[in-house]
Structure 1
Amino acid sequence: MTSKTLLATTALTLALLAGPALAGPKCTSEAKDKWLSEADMKQKIAELGYKDIKTFKTTSGNCYEIYGHDKDGHKAEVYFNPVTAAVVKAEID
């Protein structure tokens, strides 16, 4: 195996291993017609104390994801189950 081949194989392996970790959590397998509407979800997020939401999006893991601040003003990246509004993963700085 040449050094170029070894390097390419190593890079591909690392990319494949890191891909799922970087993709975020899997939140639901429910059909989108079972999801809360974006408006209803945004209301629930506000009721949970999240504010200054800069980003609200749907992820490839079927989550609603926000970037904003929690009730204490800390930066927050939060993934929600779009059916139940439960927090699936939260990273608070």
Structure 2
Amino acid sequence: MRILIALTLLIGSSTAFAATQCTTADKSTWQDPGKFQAQLKDQGYKISKFKVTKGNCYEIYGFDKDGRKIEIYHDPVSGKAVKTEYHD
């Protein structure tokens, strides 16, 4: 029974900490980070922080055009949002 509980905890914790994966494409195919951020700003986003994640995503922290606090993971090749989280 202890082994079953330990395995359940191990499996649950590994999925909870799994990184969002955006692409496996070569970095030479990625959009220019500066131009990408400029496009988002043109759409009304306010970017407080921008980074590249371990899962090969462009991740932004900031506010959307409605002033909601957000964290968005983007595919750096297509620019599409892969995951969006709203924060209070």
Quick check: which one's helix share is greater? 1
Q: Deviations over 1:56-87 (max 9, x none)?
A: 00111110001100101110000001011111
**TM-score between the two structures when normalised by the length of structure 2:** 0.79
Report the CA distance between 1:55 and its aligned residue: 1.4
Whether 1:50 aligns to 2:25 is no
User: How many angstroms apart in 1 are the aligned matches of 2:9 and 2:43?
Assistant: 37
Q: Partner letter of residue 81 of structure 1? A: D
Report the CA distance between 1:24 and its aligned residue: 3.5
Report percent identity of matched pairs: 43
User: How many angstroms apart in 1 are the aligned matches of 2:71 and 2:45?
Assistant: 10
Question: Taking structure 1 as reference, are residues 23 and 68 closer, same or farther at Cα in structure 2, changes over 3 Å only?
Answer: farther
Over aligned residue pairs, what C-alpha RMSD do you find?
A: 2.2
2:12 paired residue number:
17
Report the CA distance between 1:42 and its aligned residue: 0.7
Q: Partner letter of residue 71 of structure 1? A: K
| Structure 2: stretches of 5+ with no match in the other structure | none
Question: Taking structure 1 as reference, are residues 49 and 62 closer, same or farther at Cα in structure 2, changes over 3 Å only?
Answer: same
Higher Rg? 1
Report the CA distance between 1:34 and its aligned residue: 0.4
SS at match of 1:40: helix
1:29 paired residue number:
24
User: How many angstroms apart in 2 are the aligned matches of 1:50 and 1:27?
Assistant: 20
Q: Which runs of 4+ in 1 moved over 2 A?
A: 12-24
Report the CA distance between 1:23 and its aligned residue: 3.8
